[in-house]
């Protein structure tokens, strides 16, 4: 088993290495890959120093699986070239997610749709992943009609530049314009913009939640509307979700379904001050769910609060779980 990690020196790439080590992913050859400026630098994996190699050298090595965390443009250019030599690409960017010829996979929900013919597999957006992991077991039981979601998204979702901006501002410095990941300060602030605005007034991040949810859940009838907000948090993303169902529900049953759902950790005891927070999600692979309560203003409607580490389950861990599924089911 030859495994390549493309974008290995980036924020998500570093977490991919951590999760691969923690989960003891089976491989005989490890191939770290990054942009030309990083070629020749060293990365440490399982206690061994490896030199970073170029895209061309990685393709020549014909890896069995390549986990991409290098941005959409890079993926559009290079993922097909890896696929041409027989590599299965699991891509963390948005490049292939809504392409009808490529699967968009959250293993707890739709890994069963994968076949040996899938050579480029899309990893969903981080905020979408945590929401659908929590909602899929309820959709099976009650049939979701509509989702209203407001996100509180960690600056780590923007990358190292955003983290550095936050750290400078926290220390009292005013970053230079070229050091700013956002148009405004992020320390002690909330910015109601994640990604760029589209013609319909929504951001790309908000529309990812709308479109990806339907594709992953395999149900185009689900109505979704979203507001995505960037907050000065390092630990992970949070979401306030209001979900309306076709059928009524018993709240105790909903709690049990969530407690039994793969990948979900139920933390829902407000009287004991137990509810999910990004501080608790940081460094963990579960999707945390709590603050479950009926919406008394609408029929068959539930309010819930969801948190998860956006760099782990929202990116690295989900991609590695896809790779594990491929290996375990002899699809590679």
Question: For 260-280, how does the pLDDT look when each residue is reduced to its tens digit (9 = 90+)?
Answer: 999 999 999 999 999 999 999
- Percent of the chain at pLDDT > 70 equals 100
Specify whether the CB–CB gap between 291 and 270 falls below 8 A: yes
Residues 243 and 319 both lie in one domain:
no
Q: What DSSP assignment string belongs to 52-101?
A: -B-HHHHHHT--SEEEE-S-HHHHHHHHHHHHHTTPEEEE-SSSSTT-TT
Q: What DSSP assignment string belongs to 8-59?
A: TTSHHHHHHHHHHHHTT---SEEEEE--GGGTT-EEEETTEEEE-B-HHHHH
Q: Show which residues are catalytic.
A: 126, 237
Please report, for the domain that includes residue 22, its CATH number.
Answer: 3.40.50.720
Q: Decide: helix, strand or coil at residue 205.
A: helix
Mean pLDDT for the stretch of residues 301-322:
98
- Hey, what are 288's tokens? 């945390």
- Hey, what are 113's tokens? 């749709």
Q: If we measure between CA atoms, which residue out of 95, 87, 45 comes closest to residue 69?
A: 95
Read off the pLDDT band of 235 (50, 70, 90). confident
Residues 209 and 297 both lie in one domain:
yes
- Hey, what are 150's tokens? 């407001």
Residues 143 and 291 both lie in one domain:
yes
- pTM value? 0.96
- Hey, what are 71's tokens? 């941005």
User: Cβ neighbours of residue 191 under 8 Å, at least 6 residues apart?
Assistant: 182, 183, 184, 229, 230
DSSP state, 282?
A: T
Tens digits of residue pLDDT in 173-182: 999 999 999 9
Residues 167 and 279 both lie in one domain:
yes
Average pLDDT, the chain: 97
Find the domain containing 179 and state its range: 127-310
What is the rounded CA–CA span in Å between residue 127 and residue 306?
Answer: 10
Specify whether the CB–CB gap between 300 and 247 falls below 8 A: yes
Q: If we measure between CA atoms, which residue out of 226, 223, 229, 189 comes closest to residue 209?
A: 226
Residues 86 and 196 both lie in one domain:
no
Residues 171 and 43 both lie in one domain:
no
Tens digits of residue pLDDT in 143-159: 999 999 999 999 999 99
286 bridge partner residues? none
Mean pLDDT for the stretch of residues 75-91:
98
Q: CA 60 → CA 27, 64, 303, distances in Å?
A: 18, 12, 51
What is the rounded CA–CA span in Å between residue 66 and residue 194?
Answer: 28
241 bridge partner residues? 149, 304
Residues 108 and 193 both lie in one domain:
no
Phi-psi bin for 71: left (phi > 0), alpha (psi -120 to 50), beta? left
Q: E strands, the chain, where? A: 2-6, 29-33, 42-45, 48-51, 65-68, 88-91, 120-122, 144-153, 223-230, 237-245, 264-266, 287-294, 301-308
- Hey, what are 314's tokens? 């929202």
pLDDT of residue 272: 98
- How many structural domains does the chain have? 2
Residues 150 and 217 both lie in one domain:
yes
Mean pLDDT for the stretch of residues 122-140:
98
Q: If we measure between CA atoms, which residue out of 141, 106, 46 comes closest to residue 322?
A: 106
Residues 242 and 115 both lie in one domain:
no
Please report, for the domain that includes residue 194, its CATH number.
Answer: 3.30.360.10
Residues 95 and 237 both lie in one domain:
no
Residues 102 and 202 both lie in one domain:
no
Specify whether the CB–CB gap between 317 and 19 falls below 8 A: yes
Residues 39 and 161 both lie in one domain:
no
């Amino acid at each position: 088993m030859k495994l390549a990690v493309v974008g290995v020196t980036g924020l998500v790439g570093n977490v991919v290495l951590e999760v691969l080590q923690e989960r003891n992913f089976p491989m005989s050859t490890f191939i770290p890959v990054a942009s030309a400026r990083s070629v020749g630098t060293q990365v440490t994996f399982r206690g061994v120093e490896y030199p970073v190699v170029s895209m061309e050298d990685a393709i020549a090595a014909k890896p069995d699986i390549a986990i991409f965390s290098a941005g959409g443009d890079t993926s559009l250019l290079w993922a097909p070239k890896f696929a041409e030599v027989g590599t299965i690409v699991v891509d963390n960017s948005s490049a292939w997610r809504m392409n009808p010829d490529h699967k968009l996979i959250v293993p707890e929900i739709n890994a069963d749709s994968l076949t040996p013919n899938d050579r480029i597999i899309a990893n969903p957006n981080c905020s979408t992943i945590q929401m659908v992991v929590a909602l899929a077991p309820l959709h099976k039981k009650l049939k979701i009609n509509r989702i209203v979601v407001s996100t509180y998204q960690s600056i780590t979702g923007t990358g190292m530049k955003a983290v550095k901006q936050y750290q400078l501002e926290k220390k009292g410095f005013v970053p230079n314009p070229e050091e700013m990941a956002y148009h405004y300060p992020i320390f002690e602030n909330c910015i109601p913009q994640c990604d760029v605005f589209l013609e319909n007034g929504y951001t790309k991040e908000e529309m990812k939640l709308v479109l990806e949810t339907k594709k992953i859940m395999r149900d185009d009838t689900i109505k979704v509307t979203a507001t995505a907000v960037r907050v000065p948090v390092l630990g992970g993303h949070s979401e306030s979700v209001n979900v309306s169902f076709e059928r009524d529900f018993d709240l105790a049953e909903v709690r049990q379904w969530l407690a039994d759902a793969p990948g979900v950790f139920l933390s829902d005891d407000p009287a004991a001050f137990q509810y999910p927070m990004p501080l608790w999600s940081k460094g963990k692979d579960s999707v945390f769910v709590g603050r479950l309560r009926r919406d008394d203003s609408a029929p068959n409607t539930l309010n819930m609060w969801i948190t998860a580490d956006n760099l782990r389950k929202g990116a690295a861990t989900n991609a590695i779980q896809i790779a594990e599924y491929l290996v375990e089911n002899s699809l590679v």
